[in-house]
Structure 1
Amino acid sequence: MVSGQSRSVTPWLSKPTSSLEMHLLVGGVPFSLDRELLAARSAKISALLEANSQEDLSHSLRDIPPEPETFELVLRFCHGFEVHMSSENVVPLTCFACYLRMTENHSRNNLLTKALTFFEQRIFPSWNETIKALCTVEKIFQESVNFGLVDACSESLIKKALVDPSLLGEPIKNSTCVDDSEDDDNVYRPNARRRLFDSERQPEDLTILPLRLYEPIIQAMNKSGVPSKYVAASLCTYAKKWVFPISTGSEKMSINKRNSPGEIIEALERLLSHERGLLPCTLLFDMLQSAIILEANSHCRNGFEVRIGKQLEEATAKDLLVPSQYDTECVRRILKIFYGNYTSSDVSGLITVAELLEDFLVMGASDKDLKPEAFISLGDISAAASVGTQRSSDGIYRAIDIYLAQHRYLTESEREEVCRVLDCQKMSPEACEHAAKNERLPLRVVVQVLFVGKLQLHDAITKETKDSDDRLRKEEEAGKDVAKLDCGGQQARGEMKNMCSKVMGLERECHMMRKEIESGFSRSTVKKRNVSMWRDMKRKFGCINNMYDYNCRPKKKNM
């Protein structure tokens, strides 16, 4: 190799074989070479010289592949030197051989035949060597595409992935498609005849390819039937390599210099199947967050939301924070997708999502910076998620209690608005007792809780009376002693009358309490009356004497 402004072939020979020199610029590097020697191997150069031997060929060869190091190897071959081929130089060598038409028709044992033979014998049989060869096409991408080298390498990789999809990577754990408790017989293992590539114990990572090579290969694998879970594993690795953490550092730009992280995350979304459970919900949330931060298009963001919605029951409350802290609209959309795709008759998934939304609401309640409007919106979502699950409102009440404790500066009207999301009729007796003594609650809510307590007792009395009536009816139908029945019936009716009079008394007390509140009694006075009334109701009807301390989740009584 010669330093200076031009490269010459003379260092390789004792003397030039021709006095006719031509000057050529390849990839910005000038070369001086013997054109007749080159024409002996190149049909293209030979044709140009025959057309006009005196013409400067530089203009006609201006679209020559811009690889000066490889062109120097071509010149060595023209001068009779042996060219050592490898996965790092066979692609550009083949491109030069195709461009210069160095075929067998023009000259025996020509460069193109040698290069294609090397491909067939050394590159295509090996997954690793094929990927290494593809990594060299960046500078001569269009030439590699035009000469069919990219397609040939891609087809080779696809065939290998169909035989052994684990070359793409192992499926991601903790997703529904790969259960840790799955029987070993269901795990993919190529049989003896198909273990063609077991010698490659550490297969080259397909994700080292730039996006414009990686994307069409994965698209072709999807169409060819490579299992989706293995493709998803490769996409996950690609995201971790080029998107997570979001960066524009030199390492990430060195390969994917033509694509921003935003373009990459959009491509990954397009390539990822909509099959449920291919990736863990947490990873899908990470991808959604990246799409939002990188300002990916709406189709990309919506695609990740749809995939999350299909498996929302696998998410955690922290996952819901990932897209954008307390993004209620995003949560609403995901929840809507979940209900739209939920087809199981088993309500366990619905209950799991309802609990998830309650945990998310409690998490938000602890945030001192969360505005009342946002909390109310989250409360509405949590309440809606509990519809049809027969769940109590205790979780929502717990969140409200935490939020009021963290935001003591709220006015009475603001506290009433926060409590709007609470359905007092769905509160357990333990929660009602706690709420009746909760000084953080607005007065109106305390009154509502007391009325709910009254109704719960009324329902309990009515049920007990009905049960007693049913027993009497069954005894009458069985033909028992009439006198005994009359005595029992009169006693039951007397108890029922007594209970009804007590209920009426309770109603009068509640009515008087309400009038006192409207007349302007102080909160402390009303509070004492509320609590005493609650205890009095319990005492009058012989209910539980000692109430368990309320911890926002009903406790089981000791048997």
Structure 2
Amino acid sequence: MSQLSDFQIHINGQQTFFVNEEILSTYSGRLKKIIKQERRRNQIKNSGIEIDDFPGGPDGFELISRFCYNNGRITTTVSNVSLLHCCAVYLGMTEKLSTCNLLQQTQVFLDGLFEWSWKDILVCLKSCGSFCNYADSSGLLDKLICALLAKIAQNSDISSFIAASSSTSSSPETASGFRPSSSYKNTPESIKPSSSSRAWWFDDVAILPPKIIEKLFQSLGAYGADNNSLILTRFLLHYLKVSAQRKANYNHTSSAAVNSKCEFGGLADTAVHGIIFVGRKTFSCRALFWVLRIVSGFGLSKEYRLGLERLIGGMLDEATLDDLLVSGHDRGVYDVNLVIRLIRVFVKSEGVSVQKLKIAGRLIDKYLGEISPDQNLKISKFLGVAESLPDSARDCFDGAYRAIDIYLESHPSLSFEERSRLCRCLNYEKLSLGACKELAKNPKIPPRVAMQALMSQQSKITPPTPRPKQQCVNYEMIVYKGDADDEESLAEEGKMEETLNLQRMQWRVVELEKLCRQMKGQMSRMVKHNHVLATPTHARPLPRLC
């Protein structure tokens, strides 16, 4: 047994194989050269070598060992032919060393590639995932992708596959199925176009690794900024959606998440470029928010993210509250910074009418009410959303006040200055009378803010002052005489009376606040006094307060 295993080979730092030097050197020119160099360097009979970049790792070397120990024979299948081929190229297993060389056997097997079934091509392509670079450098990946595209073209309208579609569907999930060609009658049932809204090949191709999908788009000349095809864009969105669901089913470490972003980043950019190319005529506002949620987890570049946000921001008046509730990436529950950026884009967009601004204003007030309970929402972020819209976007500020009230209720530890600062986004003149009264009674609102709100509501809250009977008579006489100067003086007197009434009401509010504080202090002292002095036998009830 020692004669058969006289040499050690460490593969990719993962596993050590004890092999016979002569047997492996018979079929591999590279191994023969490496082993000979190692013998000369160490001059030790029992030595070993390390190979750190072997295709497929230990699995690939195990297949090679079986081939060598089996006198140059191994069962070749669609699932292992790619790995065997790459290993044969890597180790130089050519006909120069043996007539039963592995490279020739795999090439013969691959010659029938275009006669394979659709399923066999997918299985072979998927097996290249762990050694994609070797498959690409050897030219094998190009052959497999070419066979894949040939199958799609054979059972589809190739013009709709490569060229940009003229479809105007607004859903990100929809995509026109391919029109069968004349050879469709001979197509197996498993690959016939279905009645689904997606193209028939979407789900099948979605099982391939991201590097192979990237190579597929490069082969079509539709990668990155070259993607002008709607059908390919829809496939990428479907692929990223499936990949996101697949990621959610596994627990990923931070390093795995970084690697995932690196692998999918180029595909995410390609998808977004295709969306920007077709514009808002093809994708609705809701569909664009769906796209944003999908691609955000795949390392989308800053350039394409800004382009997608500009597209969404220009359609903000078509959004719903659910669209805006995008999960936050920091400590916050929602991505408030995103909404602030979208509002700014919308306000700066050309041709935004006042009507659209008001629609957006009502939407943003609902959004403020939804995010207000978030304990990690800072006042600056709240104000950033509320103040991003111009004053003309709101006919009424009742919605903004409701959101402030919810925020104050959810953040009871705010200081007096912070509560005053929070209320600066309100236009008191655009508050309804009912909201203004509620604000004035709200104990969480600073008194100065309540005073300003009441003053701004002067014409709404000041009741008409009845005039004395004699004054009314005199007024009628003056009108009868038609004296213009007297009429002006009476109008001035009316304004003065209204001002005096408003001042009396303001002072009354202040006096009531003082009285309320005094009553609370008296009650607390009485309760403490009774707890200390009262006994069970001489207990006296507290006086009833009216």
The residue identity in structure 2 corresponding to 1:149 is L
Aligned pair 1:355/2:362, yes or no? Answer: yes
Q: CA shift at 1:321, angstroms?
A: 4.9
Q: 1:30: Cα distance to partner?
A: 3.9
Cα deviation 1:327-384 (Å, max 9, x = unaligned) = 65443233334445x456566654443333212211233446655x34xx42453243
Distance 1:247 1:306 in 2: 33
Task: Look up the equivalent residue of 2:68 and give its one-letter code.
Answer: L
Percent identity over the alignment is 21
CA distance in 1 between partners of 2:429 and 2:309 (Å)? 34
Alignment of 1:29-40 (within 5 A): 29-32=17-20, 38=26
Query: Partners in 2 of 1:447 and 1:36 — Cα distance?
Result: 93
- Once the two structures are TM-superposed, the CA of residue 420 in structure 1 deviates from its matched residue by 1.3
Aligned-partner Cα distance in 1 for 2:513–2:188: 84
- How has the CA–CA distance of structure 1 residues 192 and 159 changed in structure 2, closer, same or farther, with 3 Å as cutoff? closer
Q: Mark the CA change 1:214 to 1:526 in structure 2 (over 3 Å): closer, same or farther.
A: same
Letter in 1 for 2:62: E
Q: CA deviation at 1:131?
A: 3.3
SS in 2 for 1:178: coil
Q: 1:207 Cα deviation (Å)?
A: 4.7
Deviations 1:499-522 (A, max 9, x none): 988875563244225655787973
Counterpart of 2:182, as a letter, is R
The alignment partner of 1:272 has SS state of helix
CA distance in 2, matches of 1:397, 1:137: 60
Whichever residue aligns with residue 281 of structure 1, its letter is F
Q: Kindly report which structure 2 residues correspond to 1:193-212, keeping only aligned pairs within 5 A, or say none.
A: 193=182, 195=184, 199-200=190-191, 205-212=204-211
Say yes or no: does 1:389 pair with 2:393.
Answer: yes
Q: Distance in 2 between matches of 1:306 and 1:46?
A: 57
> How far does residue 37 in structure 1 lie from its aligned partner after superposition?
11
Q: Structure 1 residues 442 and 120 mapped into 2: Cα distance closer, same or farther (>3 Å)?
A: same
CA distance in 2, matches of 1:158, 1:348: 49
Task: Please give the alpha-carbon distance, in whole angstroms, between the structure 2 residues aligned to 1:93 and 1:284.
Answer: 41
The residue number in structure 2 matching 1:247 is 251
**Distance in structure 2 (CA, Å) of the matches to 1:130 and 1:423:** 66
> What's the counterpart of residue 271 of structure 2?
272
- The amino acid of 1:239's aligned partner reads A
Q: In structure 2, what is the equivalent of residue 69 of structure 1?
A: 62
Say whether the 8 Å CA contact 2:114–2:147 is kept in structure 1.
no
- Closer, same or farther: CA 266–140 of 1 in aligned 2, 3 Å: closer
1:336 corresponds to which residue? 344
Contact conserved, 1:165 with 1:227, CA < 8 A, in 2? no
CA distance in structure 2 between the aligned counterparts of 1:70 and 1:88, rounded to whole angstroms: 12
The aligned residue for residue 426 of structure 1 is 430
TM-score normalised to structure 2 length: 0.61
- The offset of 1:94, in angstroms, is 1.9
User: CA, structure 1 residues 258+320, in 2 after alignment: closer, same or farther (shift >3 Å)?
Assistant: closer
Deviations for 1:222-253, whole angstroms, at most 9, x for unmatched residues?
347453112111122122223x368326xx99
1:90 matched to 2:81? yes
Read off the aligned partner of 1:334 and give its amino acid letter.
L
Task: Say yes or no: does 1:319 pair with 2:330.
Answer: no
Q: Report whether the alignment pairs 1:512 with 2:500.
A: yes
Alpha-carbon distance between aligned partners in 1 of 2:513 and 2:24, rounded to the nearest angstrom: 113
- Match in the other structure for 1:188: 177
Distance 1:310 1:410, change over 3 A: same
- State the alpha-carbon separation in 1 of the partners of residues 291 and 17 from structure 2: 48
Instruction: Check 1:427–1:260 CA distance in 2 against 1; reply closer, same or farther (3 A cut).
Output: same
Aligned partner of 1:417 in structure 2 is 421
Shift of 1:425: 2.3
Contact 2:362–2:394 (CA under 8 A) maintained in structure 1: no
**CA gap 1:417/1:280 in 2 versus in 1, 3 angstroms:** same
1:407 CA drift (Å): 5.2
Shift of 1:395: 1.0
Superposition CA RMSD, Å = 5.4
Give the letter aligned to residue 500 of structure 2. M
1:88 match: secondary structure: coil
Change (3 A) 1:346 1:436: same
Distance 1:120 1:492 in 2: 113
Aligned-partner residue type, residue 401 of structure 1: D
Report Cα offsets for 1:16-60 as digits up to 9, x if no partner. Answer: xxxxxx979584434437679947xx8x58998xx99x999x999
Letter of the structure 2 residue corresponding to residue 393 of structure 1: F
Q: 1:514 to 1:350 in 2, by over 3 A?
A: closer
- State the SS of the aligned residue for 1:29: strand
Tell me if structure 2 keeps the 8 A contact 1:23–1:32. Answer: yes
1:235-282: CA deviation from partner (whole Å, max 9, x where unpaired):
22122223x368326xx99xxx79634435645543432415495525
> Which position in structure 2 is the counterpart of 1:11?
none
Q: CA deviation at 1:119?
A: 2.5
What CA deviation, in whole Å up to 9, does each residue of 1:434-491 have, x standing for no partner? 5466565444444444444445799xxxxxxxxxxxxxxxxxxxxxxxxxxxxxxxx9
Please give the TM-score of this superposition, normalised by the length of structure 1.
0.60
